[in-house]
Structure 1
Amino acid sequence: MDKLTLTNLTKKYGDTVVVDQLNLSLRPGEFVSLLGPSGCGKTTTLRMIAGFVTPSAGSIDMDGKQMSSAAASLPPERRRMSMIFQSYALWPNMTVAQNVAFGLKMRKVSKDEIQRRVNQILGVVQLDHLAARYPNELSGGQQQRVSLARALVVKPEILLLDEPLSNLDANLREEMRGEIRRLHNEFGITSIYVTHDQAEAMTTSDRIAVMNKGRIEQIDDPLTLYARPKTRYVAEFIGRSNILDGRTNGASVAFNGFEISTARLNARGVIRTEEFSLRTQNIGLHANCPQGDSIILPGSIIERAFLGETWDYAFQSETSNLRLRIMSPPLHVFDVGQKVWLEINPSHIIPIQDDQHA
């Protein structure tokens, strides 16, 4: 049985539909991220799961029992869930240990058991040496660890995380997303993580639900999302892609400036689309014309930007009006205006379609 099931979940504010007939199921112990830009409905979905917002339609079931519907909604304190907020939401007048113990006291756990569990969880999040400190004496990363400890110490059946790392700097975010995954592996709690940061979602999640305008565009494991996007929105939102227009002509597909046999494309079944994804880092740039059976196109560099770990180039074909973006390693340096040859492996051109319905 699924641990959590959202069925046709909808939320309206007046005439504005924020969440639109959303369907999602989580297996026990699964870590799923809701990924999308601001305003896509991901936080509203999370707050409906938590019980802070009542659905306008649809239902939320946990272990086969209904938690929310438009007619009735179980209050948050009776849902056996913990939520971690973007703002940490720590009590400033309580020490680290007291903050972590707060939920246990509310549940009337014995003092000895509280002490044991608080000491244990502070050790797990590597904060036992800071138990007597107050929140204003901690760094942002340490405060977020306290928030994690407080959520985990009550042993929730579902853990909800709402943009928990957005207030941290880049290095701390990278450290903490690894920490969140480590804790999930250790405790195995069914978790839902809301974020607009695809790197966070990719590194922490078993599956990612990409949201757009209140709906899920695609839900898959990170590699499948990246390699086989089902919609143009997903192809452009996950990683960096060039979107190519292609027309199928029997055994080949005609693109702007070149044509490829369908057998050489990375297609599964019948091609039913005219949109194809080509990842920016899957394109080669050369100062001299390369040999081989790849697609070779002459052209020039019309823009470039150095991003530290990569160069971001814009390429203009000299044989057509094809323009592509290309990510290259930092030592592959080309000047604006320089003539170059572009190399494409046909297997890197992906039809943007749902292969299950091919």
Structure 2
Amino acid sequence: MSEIRVESLVKRYGDTTALDGVSLAFPEGSFTALLGPSGCGKTTMLRLIAGFEAPSTGSVYFGDALVADPNRQLPPEARNVGVVFQSYALWPHMDVTENVAYPLRARRVAAADIPARVAAVLDIVGLGGFGKRRIDELSGGQRQRVALARCLVAEARIILFDEPLANLDMHLRSAMVDAFREIHRRTGATIVYVTHDQAEALALADRVAVMSKGKLLQAASPREIYRSPADAAVAGFVGRGSLVSGNAVDHAGETATIDIAGHRLAARSNRERAGAVKVLLRPEALRIATEGLPATVLDSVYRGPVHEVRLTLEPGQHLLIDSAEALMAGQQVHVAVSDAWVVPGA
């Protein structure tokens, strides 16, 4: 069974609480990214699932089977879990085939069966023909693929990734994102992927769990996390955007009418009361227009395809937009808004 559940999970190291009462389910065959800044508890969660750490309180289940609580700890080797580390953890004195075959030999798989299984997983990760290469002859991306092949050859139904792309350059990171998506499609394994890179999380996962200070803030699809963050902390961490103060003056269904700096606009909302609110405005939902929010240009930075323009609204609030043309500091403009989200609890 490759479904994972953690219930009321707490992990303390002395006086430090690294994980604080987290409950989360990882459905069978899902790809979940644990996203958050350094020290938020995401790697601790991974280590508890893998069996490298024991919970202080709470439980870890694989399907209906209890694998860890404060009184019981199934060892890592008995969990059939593959782990891919940031550091690759490959044997430098072994070639690619020997590294990938190691788990099979450790499990005493018949020697005659090993070559075909190793060759099959090397083809899956795009390393067919690399079997005799030494590890020091491989690029960073190729080494990461060897580490992934070593998980796959053991037929692990759960694969855990601990910031696997952190040591790669931008080009290799992009290539490996595509590789991980293809591996998930082909294997159907349950994947838990730890990262602090929001672009990776949004591109790879079918669900993103945002964490901060040992707590789970929101777990939802990448689209929901980006468009409808659960609170100001998630809104501020995921994606570019501006949290702007406004006043809700009307509400109809899931749409609120918001007054910002004397201009009224429609915003998506799951709250029905009037009063002060915080509204998330993403740059791609904004454009310079003849009518809209009145603003003054602070500065404009060329980012290649667009100019990233920072504006100020009255009274003293900042707004970020993307513009096809550079704007001059001090220029008076109006900003039309095509999408906005009233952030709950903000």
Shorter-chain TM-score above 0.5: yes
Q: Whole-Å Cα distance in 2 between the matches of residues 189 and 235 of structure 1?
A: 30
Residues 110-159 of structure 1 deviation map (CA, whole Å, 9 limit, x = unaligned): 11211110011111112122110111000001000101101111001210
Instruction: Give the C-alpha shift of residue 265 in structure 1.
Output: 2.4
SS in 2 for 1:202: helix
Per the normalisation by structure 2, the TM-score is: 0.93
Q: How many residues align?
A: 340
Q: Counterpart in 2 of 1:293?
A: none
Q: Counterpart in 2 of 1:18?
A: 18
1:333 paired residue among 326, 332, 335: 326
Counterpart amino acid of 2:223? L
Residues 38-75 of structure 1 deviation map (CA, whole Å, 9 limit, x = unaligned): 00000011001101011100000001111111112111
> Can you give the 5+ residue segments of structure 2 that lack an aligned partner in the other structure?
none
Q: Counterpart in 1 of 2:119?
A: 119
2:310 paired residue among 297, 307, 314: 314
SS in 1 for 2:244: strand
Q: Are positions 1:285 and 2:288 aligned together?
A: yes
Instruction: Give the C-alpha shift of residue 299 in structure 1.
Output: 3.4
Q: Whole-Å Cα distance in 2 between the matches of residues 314 and 276 of structure 1?
A: 17
Q: Whole-Å Cα distance in 1 between the matches of residues 192 and 16 of structure 2?
A: 25
Q: Are positions 1:257 and 2:261 aligned together?
A: yes
SS in 1 for 2:201: helix
Residues 203-234 of structure 1 deviation map (CA, whole Å, 9 limit, x = unaligned): 11010000011111000010111111111011
Mapped contact 1:314–1:323 kept (Cα < 8 A): no
Task: Map 1:197-208 to 2 at 5 A.
Answer: 197-208=197-208
Task: Map 1:164-313 to 2 at 5 A.
Answer: 164-249=164-249, 255-260=259-264, 264-268=266-270, 270-271=272-273, 274-286=277-289, 289-290=290-291, 296-313=292-309
Mapped contact 2:245–2:277 kept (Cα < 8 A): yes
Identity over aligned pairs, percent: 36
SS in 1 for 2:174: helix
Task: Map 1:26-175 to 2 at 5 A.
Answer: 26-175=26-175
Mapped contact 1:312–1:325 kept (Cα < 8 A): no
Q: Whole-Å Cα distance in 1 between the matches of residues 283 and 249 of structure 2?
A: 26
Mapped contact 1:84–1:162 kept (Cα < 8 A): yes
Instruction: Give the C-alpha shift of residue 321 in structure 1.
Output: 2.1
